[in-house]
Amino acid sequence: MNNALTKTDFNFEGQKSVYHGKVRDVYNINDEFLVMVVSDRISAFDVVLPKGIPFKGQVLNQIASKFLDATADIVPNWKIATPDANVTVGHHCEPYKVEMVIRGYLTGHAWREYRSGKRTLCGIPMPGGMVEHQKFPEPILTPTTKATEGHDEDISREEILAQGIVSKEEYEQLEEYTRKLFQRGTEIAAEKGLILVDTKYEFGKKDGKIYLIDEIHTPDSSRYFYADGYEERLAKGENQKQLSKEFVRQWLIENGFQGKEGQQMPEMDEEFVNSVSNRYIELFENITGDKFIKSDLSDVTARIEKNVTGFINSLK
């Protein structure tokens, strides 16, 4: 039976508002704290798929929690506690309206732009003569706008400063944090036999202080390659073995769906749902090096409500 958490409708004490995202439901407690519930919803091509994936939310929440702790010496972050396997409670910050994307390799969006003939991305030059999945001489920062609706758009450092989206001093601080976080993530990944290919970070501000917010180094926000066999695949022009949710996108493409108008969402049978759940657990164990301990799914909503209510009461 699929007891995945696909919908939440809590009413916590002090709750002022709730934001339902594609995957996360974020509850605002008195403009002071945020309760982020990571659901088991899964999205691809900007579409939420019709069925949830058991344990996916727990996987994402616990990976992010581990990496927030592992990088807290670089930049303060929003996390206060994880009172439930699917929940992080943290500081309510005012988000910057840019996402800091950093790329160590010519992959994904960067490769598609490169293949089309472009040699700059977000105002950053890319060397000529590169091949797909090749490592950049040094990581490049390719920020995007943070869209409330529709797609995020590439934007250059110059445009961000010219439009006054972020001040020059603060943007330079965001760049420095991004590079240091990516370096730390790269080192941790290497210890696990992985390559951190690219990722995105989001930052916010509270009481004049910059915080790292949202998730970090999860398979939904980052792309990983297996280090073993990377050079051989690169030399042969073969696809890299990835540790991300790319396999879900590939399954959709193979079944004729890319989120375009008129396309029919393929049927997600129990076998497929379970296979995706198992892949996410595999991702967790590879990325963290920890054994995954499944939480109790018999009544996820009641479990979360009890745990979060208890924690909010402890803050009084």
Distance CA 306, CA 8 (A): 14
d(CA 25, CA 4): 15
- Average pLDDT score over residue span 172-195: 98
Q: Give 188 or 247, the one with higher predicted confidence.
A: 188
- Say what the pLDDT of residue 316 is: 76
pLDDT category of residue 149 using cuts at 50, 70 and 90: low
Which residue shows structure tokens 């004049």?
A: 208
Exposed e or buried b for every residue in 128-163, given b needs 16+ CB within 10 A?
eebebbeebeebbbbbbbeeeeeeeebbbbeebeee
Please tell me the chain's helix, strand, coil percentages from 3-state DSSP, rounded to the nearest 5: 30, 25, 40
Residue with token string 């590879």: 286
95-243 — its CATH code?
Answer: 3.30.470.20
> What's the gap between Cα 85 and its chain centre?
17
Q: What residues does each domain of the chain span?
A: 95-243
Measured at the alpha carbon of residue 141, what is the angle toward residues 211 and 201, in degrees to the nearest 5? 30
Task: Please report where in the chains the tokens 């472009």 appear, as a residue.
Answer: 118
Q: Is 27:309 a contact under the CB 8 Å cutoff?
A: no
Give the model's confidence band at 150: pLDDT under 50 very low, under 70 low, under 90 confident, else very high: low
Across 223-252, average pLDDT: 93
pLDDT for 245 equals 82
Query: What digits encode the pLDDT tens for the residues 97-109?
Result: 999 999 999 999 9
pLDDT tens column, 16-64: 999 999 999 999 999 999 999 999 999 988 899 999 999 999 999 999 9
Only one residue has tokens 């479990």, namely 303
Altogether, the residues listed in the chain come to a count of: 316
The answer to whether 144 touches 155, Cβ cutoff 8 Å, is yes
Dist. CA 47–CA 253, nearest whole Å:
13
pLDDT-derived band of residue 217, with 50, 70 and 90 as boundaries?
Answer: very high
